[in-house]
Amino acid sequence: MKVTTKCIRKKKGVEKISMITAYDAMFARLADEAGVDIILVGDSLGNTILGFESTVPVTLEMMAHHVRAVARANTNAMVVADMPFAVAHKSFDTVLDACAELVRSGAQAVKIEGGAKMAEKIGCLVEAGVAVMGHIGLEPQQVLKLGGYRKFGKTPEERQKLLKDAAELQKAGVFSIIAEMCDAEAAKELSASVDVPVIGIGSGPDCDGQVLVFADALGLTQTPPSFVKRYADLRAAVIGAYSNFVSDIKNGIFPERK
Ligand code: KIV
């Protein structure tokens, strides 16, 4: 049965939510077979798959192309698509059109970075019928301004800001919130402060769920963030397999004549 926003909301306090990124049909199918609740077509597409330095250069067209690929996997898992930086800060009409494009491409919900500062726009989107997931703490789309990635919520001021961001997003009607790179104690307080599920990444164990970038979880990235748990070592496995392929060709072992 297809996971919906209602299913995700109902999991709060009952069952932890699992979420992983996928950018194509093959890995979306694999995540779905494993029973993942939410597949995120994240704009981490930019640095994970497309070779950019960050998520900033990702466009709506790139997002829609990969959302369509994931949607073709026809998963039970809910499909959430990131609103790219290039669009998120434009006018409400433009952002609504972008949501429509992502939904037409197969997303059930759209994730938008930014807390209180984005709440008014998100409220209008929800009013219009868009299912929105919030994203606070580290906002990777702000990396150029921040000058790098770091933890949030270590100081009382930042902790208060996180709580305010979450409260405003909840008021705006989001069905869940991503808390990225938040101090673990702050994330715990944050999760307890709202009724919607808070899904953490690099934010400790006390959130209502966890999300990872698939390439980090599968050990495909060379230097994953320190909070990542690697569930496989696919980088070594793939390089090993390709090396065998190359050597078989060079040595005339593959293909066999028969
Ligand atoms: O784009 C992405 O993959 C994300 C996750 C890191 C939450 O936003």
Give the pTM: 0.98
Ligand 1 within 6 A of CB of 43: yes
What the block records as the tokens of 57 is 């250069």
Distance 58 CA to ligand 1 centre (A): 13
From 21, 210, 228, mutation site for ligand 1 pocket: most ligand atoms within 8 A of C-beta: 21
Percentage of residues in the chain with pLDDT exceeding 70? 100
List pLDDT tens digits, range 3-57. Answer: 999 999 999 999 999 999 999 999 999 999 999 999 999 999 999 999 999 999 9
Distance 245 CA to ligand 1 centre (A): 33
Check if the beta carbon of residue 98 is closer than 8 Å to that of residue 81. Answer: no
Percentage of residues in the chain with pLDDT exceeding 90? 99
Cβ-in-10-Å burial (0-12, 13-18, 19+) of 232 comes to exposed
Ligand 1 within 6 A of CB of 42: yes
The closest residue, in CA terms, to atom 1 on ligand 1 is 42
Nearest ligand 1 atom to the CA of 82 is 1
Amino acid 120 reads: E
Residues making up the chain, counted from first to last: 258
Q: What is the mean pLDDT of residues 153-181?
A: 98
Query: Which ranges in the chain belong to alpha helices (H)?
Result: 5-10, 25-33, 45-48, 60-71, 85-88, 92-105, 116-128, 143-146, 156-172, 184-193, 214-217, 234-250
CA proximity to 81, closest of 50, 45, 48, 49: 45
Is 33 a residue of the active site?
no
Nearest ligand 1 atom to the CA of 180 is 7
Strand partners, 79: 39
Ligand 1 within 6 A of CB of 211: yes
Distance 110 CA to ligand 1 centre (A): 12
Task: Kindly calculate the radius of gyration of the chain based on its CA atoms and give it in whole angstroms.
Answer: 19
Distance 241 CA to ligand 1 centre (A): 29
Distance 240 CA to ligand 1 centre (A): 29
On average, the pLDDT of the chain sits at 98
Nearest ligand 1 atom to the CA of 44 is 1
Coil, strand or helix at 40: strand
Q: Which of 101, 113, 139, 180 is catalytic?
A: 180
Neighbours of 237 (CB within 10 A): 13
List pLDDT tens digits, range 79-125. Answer: 999 999 989 999 999 999 999 999 999 999 999 999 999 999 999 99
The closest residue, in CA terms, to atom 8 on ligand 1 is 42
**pLDDT tier, 68 (very low <50, low <70, confident <90, very high otherwise):** very high
Preceding amide of 255 cis, omega within 30? yes
Nearest ligand 1 atom to the CA of 40 is 3
Quick one: pLDDT at residue 90? 98
Quick one: pLDDT at residue 55? 98
**pLDDT tier, 184 (very low <50, low <70, confident <90, very high otherwise):** very high
